[in-house]
Amino acid sequence: MGKRSKAPETSAEVDGLPVSWFNAEIKRCLHGYVTGGTSQGRKAFFKRLIWTEAERERVHGITAPSRRFGS
């Protein structure tokens, strides 16, 4: 089997990434949350979305919006 590309999963891994990466990842997670198949998949996208927005706020100072799952 081939290796998967490693997506950043820790705060140390996202330090120094450009804001364009964060915006693209947020867009991808939003799309997955809205169009995701199963509730588990949607929840995984939502958790990734929340984490990515929080990290973007920490690294670049862009305020993360308040979100609730299912709304």
**Overall average pLDDT of the 2-11 stretch:** 78
| pLDDT interval class at 6 (50, 70, 90) | confident
> Model confidence over 30-52: pLDDT tens digits?
999 999 789 999 999 999 999 99
Reported pTM: 0.88
Average pLDDT over residues 10-17: 92
As a three-state string, the secondary structure of the chain is: CCCCCCCCCCHHHHCCCCHHHHHHHHHHHHHHHHHCCCHHHHHHHHHHHHHHHHHHHHHHCCCCCCCCCCC
